[in-house]
A and B are shown apart, each in its own frame.
Chain A
């Protein structure tokens, strides 16, 4: 098992290398002159020249890349063009809200999605199943900010159950922190719930037709025991895979959710970076988010070996 995990860890290195190389080359692949685009329409030729120099576009690609990559290995993502602060510092200041939002979303989504997926499979073909699946199609179709605004309008503005916007740090206590994050987490988790519920239902249907389920039934085991002990355990691998892959949806959605609910996290930082055309910051954010995504999926691979002892590559 240890050697398998070690091999998986090493396998992520080329992936991360390609991510870094690709994100860096975007500056060179992009059509037109990126320096002129970043400078904006009102910029003087001197400004454009300054930005070109700042981005290192006046020097050869390979030299710039090795420089940038060497700094990256040392944890230096460059300097923000707008604030002049190190990108890693800017990102570090904003990690907490985003991390809280994502973790809470993950917990809420899994606790809702897995049981409803199991119920849909158990009651397959009935109106309960059809209802759950119809809601899941809606979950794929309604964009995250629409869900966010609907929740904010009805539950926060009209009913006044939750604060409309803002974020309270975890250090100020659990309840205020939790209260501000409930609506954003549900909004962000909506697609994710649909995705996980769908895959849970599909794999559960397959598992429930197996012989050992019939045996469990024959020996008099209760319905809940069969569903949640025997079947769910065997349906876990695809479900965990989708939970890992779906993190990409969460990362993209977090950018929007933080804007809707005015949460000062990495998503807001991304939007500010876009508005100010602060390319080094955008580059740093994409690299950090991608690495997190790769690491989460590495973790998923490790979890496989725990939930399914047959997996030993």
Chain B
């Protein structure tokens, strides 16, 4: 009868690694996206749920209660007209997020269209690109200021002004991507199989521009929110009656040396929101373009 020596239990050299899959795994492997998304979603929640979060009418004037320091009753204090800054900041999130998202959507849609036309139709290309060169030579904030000086102050006009200032960059990007895609063998293959131009763009070129465009759109969203606050801050943005972060800070400008909290709270909210969107953009870039993530 032979006895076999039982092999001793092997120690765990490598601890078992739990591989996460699905949404949770994606967020776990991309902490920048997770943090950015969490911050942005909480801002979105504050903006949407503003009326039910203990706020009062953000435009209600109460001269008796003006310039109160932050307290239990007025969490962020009150401004020179007695308006509750906590309510104004929460409602202000609506303006910033609306402007950011609308500009990102509109600018990428129009930039995509212009870029596709310019990248595929050679004759239009040189004209469109000369115009875009000219537009790009005007610093975006100044272009938006000039446009706002000629239109009535409103959220829609702010969105349009910032969109126009952002379009040249997007169309440049899309055109560049289209020009490199055109040289790809699979595009030649599609053409030799008799694929017509509209179908070629729709099926073979458009899908490949979406990844860089998404990254760009995120950055545009961030810069649009900053531009909106700058425009409102210098008095060329949304009308002063609408509480936006830039407007709140503009109201606090004259009292800055004695009441810095009027500027402090909207500044923190604005910076956090822009940071959230920028983190999302960096995360998207790393996920969608693995080559770039190593160097930048």
Residues of A within 8 A of B (CB): 14-19, 21-23, 26-27, 30-32, 34, 37-38, 137-138, 140-146, 149-150, 152-153, 157, 164, 198, 201-202, 205-206, 248-249, 251-253, 255-256, 259-260, 270-271, 273-275, 277, 279, 282-283, 285-286, 289-290, 293-294, 297
Contacts and interface: CB of A to CB of B under 8 A. Distances in A.
Contacts of A144: 230
Contacts of A27: 150
> SS class of chain A's interface: helix, strand, loop or mixed?
helix
B142 A31 contact: no
A32 B296 CA distance: 45
Indicate the member of B157, B226, B279 with the most A CB atoms within 10 Å. B226
Contact of A15 (B133, B235, B274): B133
Nearest to A30: B150
A294 B134 CA distance: 9
A259 B149 CA distance: 18
Contacts of A34: 150-151
A279 B147 CA distance: 10
A283 B146 contact: yes
B89 interface: no
A124 to B, nearest CB: 10
Contacts of B275: 137-138, 141-142
| A-B residue pairs, 3 tightest by C-beta | A18-B134, A252-B141, A30-B150
Given A34-B150, A143-B229, A205 B257 contact: no
A153 to B, nearest CB: 5
B279 A137 contact: yes
B249 A286 contact: no
Which of B140, B141, B148 has the most A CB atoms < 10 Å from its CB? B141
B26 interface: no
Contact of B271 (A142, A205, A282): A142
Contact of A143 (B133, B134, B143, B230): B230
Interface of B: 130-131, 133-135, 137-143, 145-152, 157, 222, 226, 229-230, 233-236, 249, 253, 256-257, 260, 263, 267, 270-271, 274-275, 278-279, 282, 294-296
Contact of A19 (B137, B233, B295): B137
Q: Is the interface of B mostly helix, strand, loop or mixed?
A: helix
B290 to A, nearest CB: 15
A146 B271 CA distance: 8
A290 B142 contact: yes
Contacts of B296: 198, 201-202
B162 to A, nearest CB: 12
Contacts of A26: 146-147, 150
23 contacts: A14-B130, A17-B134, A21-B134, A26-B147, A32-B152, A37-B150, A37-B152, A138-B271, A140-B278, A141-B222, A142-B274, A145-B230, A153-B256, A198-B296, A202-B295, A251-B141, A252-B141, A259-B234, A274-B145, A274-B236, A282-B146, A286-B143, A286-B146
A259 B229 CA distance: 14
Contacts of A31: 151, 157
Given A137-B278, A137-B282, A255-B234, A285 B142 contact: yes
A23 B185 CA distance: 43
Most-contacted residue by chain B among A16, A23, A253, A290 (CB, 10 A): A290
A144 B233 CA distance: 11
Contact of B150 (A157, A252, A279): A279
A157 B257 contact: yes
B137 A23 contact: no
Contacts of B137: 15-16, 18-19, 290, 293-294, 297
Nearest to A156: B257
Contact of B139 (A277, A283, A289): A289
Contacts of A145: 230, 233, 249, 267
Contact of A270 (B145, B256, B271, B274): B145
Nearest to B275: A141
B295 A256 contact: no
A56 B142 CA distance: 23
A142 B230 CA distance: 12
A133 B34 CA distance: 18
Contacts of B257: 157, 164
